[in-house]
Amino acid sequence: MSTPDVAIIGTGLHPFGRYEGKSALQMGEDAVIEALADAGVAWEQVQALWASSMEVTNPEAILGLLGRTGIPARATFTGCASGGTVLAQAANAIRMGDADITVAVGMDKHPRGAFSAHPSVAGLPDWYGEAGLFLTTHFFGLKANRYLHDHGISHETLARVAAKATRNGERTPHAWRRKPLSVEEIMASPVLNYPLRQYMYCNPDEGGAAVVLCRADQAHKYTDTPLYLRASTLFSGRDGAFDLLSPSLPLAAQPSPTVFASQAAFEQAGLGPSDVDVIQLQDTDAGSEIIHMAENGFCADGDQERLLADGETEIGGSLPINTDGGLIANGEPVGASGLRQVYELANQLRGRCGERQVSDAKVGYAQLYGSPGTAAVTIVST
């Protein structure tokens, strides 16, 4: 394993859900305050901050709530991969010698219902939206349908993924959806984007998540249980990759950006998939989790049918995936979602997860994927 230069010393979360009358910035503030307390660091000790949000234009305005200390505070947004990006930037400030202690925070507060925008913001022509094609959910259905067809995976396996998410949500006090659903109930829910059904999808919601980082050689000043950032990567899609909102694709297919982000992350960390104890994957929908299992190197294409049937992705299995219920049980405030993954990994690696604890977890892995075809991977370890 590589020698770490950056440590995670504190994490905080404003639970994801719906909070009438509370702003995204206020939820981000709560998350940062919890992360600072967890790290034993005062806000005045923080030397730089990175923030991400889809709905808040200047999420770095969170300084107005935390205290206007004059530090460099910047916002970055890379869609669903934003959490990985702000974490990497907060780490890089430490590597560059610009700061000893930094904060990464994400926050969002989405309106109810499907995301809606003008096609031009995605580089697409007006007619694409007029004709009813400008919907990211089509991608999830189209990719899942083809993947299930190519690799002999049943619709029940999709339902097993969603059922696991709700069971893990039940064991997670801060999860949004805590009512376990059976495979039968999920299979009885309406088809939204065939083969994906209503209960196989995550929903946009609200929340915040934050991480406090410091120089690895100073981590023990703050905590007895520091975590080390072993890898953080981000890749955009290359020509031929089947990504969201593609009016056409070349016949010569290329792997998803997730494949490149994953391979590069394992290389950075000097680790392989079999070294990972607890896994967080982008489960925008149950099909995404199944596909991401293979794209991240945790199984071969098609093995998911057996792995899910055998319970291997459960908390007690060999590949515990989305131990807090993932996006399906927590929803997705886009700017915060990636740091929720890191929050869960940190709590797992520090043995704080109670009835959803993965025993003896030492290495955690988190993957993000979203529009316009961006994947990020973070690996942390004890």
Binding-site member from 22, 74, 138, 362 for another protein (CB under 8 A): 138
Q: Which H or E run includes 211?
A: strand 206-215
Provide the token pair at 60: 């770095």
Binding-site member from 191, 270, 306, 318 for another protein (CB under 8 A): 191
Dihedral in degrees, nearest 10, Cα atoms 345, 11, 9, 364: 10
Shortest distance, position 137 Cβ to another protein, whole Å: 8
Provide the token pair at 214: 């410091």
The smaller minimum CB distance to another protein, of residues 21 and 132, is found at 132
CB 225 within 8 A of CB 36: no
Binding-site member from 5, 44, 98, 130 for another protein (CB under 8 A): 130
Q: Cα(121)–Cα(59) distance, rounded to whole angstroms?
A: 20
List binders of another protein among 143-172 (CB under 8 A). 143, 145-146, 149
Shortest distance, position 313 Cβ to another protein, whole Å: 24
The smaller minimum CB distance to another protein, of residues 130 and 310, is found at 130
248 in contact with another protein (CB under 8 A): yes
Binding-site member from 97, 113, 355, 359 for another protein (CB under 8 A): 113
CB 10 within 8 A of CB 211: yes
Residue type, 43: W
In 3D space, the residue among 139, 79, 75 whose CA is nearest the CA of residue 338 turns out to be: 79
187 in contact with another protein (CB under 8 A): no
**Segment contacting another protein by CB under 8 A, of 86-94, 136-144, 257-265, 362-370:** 136-144
φ and ψ at residue 247, rounded to 5 degrees: -65, -25
Shortest distance, position 161 Cβ to another protein, whole Å: 17
Q: How far apart are the first and last CA of the chain?
A: 12
CB 342 within 8 A of CB 7: no
**Segment contacting another protein by CB under 8 A, of 15-23, 34-42, 70-78, 192-200:** 192-200
125 in contact with another protein (CB under 8 A): yes
- Binding-residue total with another protein (CB under 8 A): 38
Q: Cα(213)–Cα(226) distance, rounded to whole angstroms?
A: 10
Q: Cα(369)–Cα(259) distance, rounded to whole angstroms?
A: 11
**Segment contacting another protein by CB under 8 A, of 71-79, 90-98, 116-124, 230-238:** 116-124
249 in contact with another protein (CB under 8 A): yes
- Give Cα 231 to chain centroid, integer Å: 15
215 in contact with another protein (CB under 8 A): no
In whole angstroms, how far apart are CA 258 and each of 150, 269, 327, 357? Answer: 19, 16, 17, 27
**Segment contacting another protein by CB under 8 A, of 50-58, 129-137, 270-278, 344-352:** 129-137
The smaller minimum CB distance to another protein, of residues 51 and 202, is found at 202
Where along the sequence are the contacts to another protein (CB under 8 A)?
A: 113-114, 116-119, 125-135, 137-138, 141-143, 145-146, 149, 190-196, 246-251
